[in-house]
Amino acid sequence: MACLLAWTVTASAQTAPESQLAAPPTPPLVLPELPEVPSSSFGKASPTAMEELDEHLKRVRSGDPVVRERAVREVLEAKQDWVTAIYHRVNHLADTADADAMKETLRKIRNRGRDAVRDDMRREGEKGKVETPDYFAMVAEYAAAEDESWQALISVLAMSRMLVAVGNVEAARVLIQIYVRFGEFLRVDIQKQLAELGDRAAPALIEARKHPAAKISQWSERQLDQMGKAIASELVQTTDQQALADVLRAYGRIQDPDAARIIISFANSERAQVRLAARQAVRLLGEVGNWQLRETYQDIVGKTPPRDWPWKRTAQELFYQFDRLRLAQVHQYFEAGIAAQKKGDFSAARQAFDQVLAHNPMFDRRDEMVDGYVAFAAQADAEHLDAALLAMRRAERINSDPKRQGKLESLRLTLEAEALLDRSLADQSLLRKALELDPENQRARQGIAMIERGERTRRPEYSRYYGAGAIGIVGLAAILLILLWRPKTPVPVPANVNVNVPVPVPEAAAEPAAPPQPDAAADPVPVPDPAAEPVPDAASAPEAAPAPEAAPAPEAAPVNMNVPEPALEPVPVPAPEPEPEPELEAAPAPEPPPEPEPGPEPPSEAAASPVPVPEPRPAATAAPAPIPEPKD
pLDDT over 70 at 44, yes or no: yes
Question: Which range has the worst mean pLDDT, 92-101, 177-186, 383-392?
Answer: 383-392
Q: Where is pLDDT greater, at 486 or 434?
A: 434
Question: Which has the minimum average pLDDT: 12-21, 290-299, 304-313?
Answer: 12-21
Task: Identify the pLDDT of residue 486.
Answer: 61
- In whole angstroms, what separates CA 404 from the centre of its chain? 25
Judged by average pLDDT, the poorest of 272-276, 426-430, 604-608 is 604-608
pLDDT at residue 260 tops 80: yes
Residue 592 pLDDT level (bands cut at 50, 70, 90): low
Write out pLDDT tens, residues 550-577: 444 445 444 444 544 444 455 455 555 5
Sequence letter at residue 312:
K
The pLDDT, as a whole number, for residue 189 is 94
Range 204-225 average pLDDT: 93
What average pLDDT does this structure show over 473-489?
77
**In the predicted structure, residue 599 carries a pLDDT above the cut 90:** no
Q: CA 432 → CA 413, 427, 436, 450, distances in Å?
A: 9, 9, 6, 13
Q: Cα–Cα distances in Å, from 176 out to 162, 229, 238, 371, 501?
A: 14, 18, 22, 51, 124
Q: Which residues contact 297 (CB under 8 A, 6 or more apart)?
A: 304, 305, 314, 317, 318, 321
Between helix 370-378 and helix 405-422 the angle, nearest 10°, is 30
Name the CA radius of gyration of the chain, rounded: 57
Instruction: Yes or no: say if 168 and 136 are a contact pair by the CB < 8 Å rule.
Output: no
DSSP string computed for 228-240:
T--SHHHHT--S-
Alpha helices, DSSP H, located in 128-168: 135-141, 148-166
pLDDT, the chain, mean: 77
Q: Which residues contact 345 (CB under 8 A, 6 or more apart)?
A: none
Q: Would you place residue 530 in the very low, low, confident or very high pLDDT band (cuts 50, 70, 90)? A: very low
* pLDDT number for residue 195: 93
Give the pLDDT mean for 493-507.
53
- pTM for the predicted model, two decimal places: 0.58
Residue 88, pLDDT > 80, answer yes
Amino acid symbol at 527: V
Asked whether residue 468 carries a pLDDT value surpassing 90, the answer given is: no
Rounded percentage of the chain residues whose pLDDT exceeds 70: 70
Kindly tell me if the per-residue pLDDT of 489 is higher than 70. no
**Which is higher by pLDDT, 405 or 178?**
178
What DSSP element (H or E) covers 117? helix 99-124
Range 54-60 average pLDDT: 94
Stretch among 163-177, 224-238, 247-261, 515-529 having the lowest mean pLDDT: 515-529
CB 132 within 8 A of CB 52: no
**How far is it between the farthest Cα atoms of the chain?**
183
pLDDT of residue 540: 42
Model confidence at 603: pLDDT above 70: no
Q: Which of 237-241, 378-382, 433-437, 592-596 has the lowest mean pLDDT?
A: 592-596
Single-letter code of the amino acid located at 523 = D
String of DSSP letters for 261-302:
HHHHHGGG-SSHHHHHHHHHHHHHHGGGGHHHHHHHHHHHHS
What is the spatial distance between Cα 298 and Cα 305, in angstroms, rounded to a whole number? 7
Q: How far apart are CA 388 and CA 413, in angstroms?
A: 11
% the chain with pLDDT above 90: 40
Rounded Cα gap, residues 16 and 21, in angstroms? 9
- Angstrom distance (rounded) from CA 122 to CA 126: 6
Sign of the dihedral through C-alpha 458, 460, 464, 469: negative
Residue 381 confidence class, pLDDT cut points 50, 70, 90: confident
- The rounded distance, in Å, linking the Cα atoms of 173 and 177 is 6
The per-residue pLDDT for 431 is: 83
Are 158 and 136 in contact, with CB atoms under 8 Å apart? yes
- The pLDDT assigned to 83 comes to 94
Per-residue model confidence (pLDDT) at position 567: 47
Q: Check: CB of residue 45 under 8 Å from CB of residue 84.
A: yes
Q: Give residue 70's pLDDT.
A: 94
Residue 598 has pLDDT above 60, yes or no: no
Give yes or no for residue 347 having a pLDDT over 60.
Answer: yes
428-437, 541-550, 577-586, range with the lowest pLDDT: 541-550
- On the question of pLDDT at 234 being above 60, the answer is yes
Reported as a single tens digit per residue, the pLDDT across 165-176 is 999 999 999 999
pLDDT at 575: 53
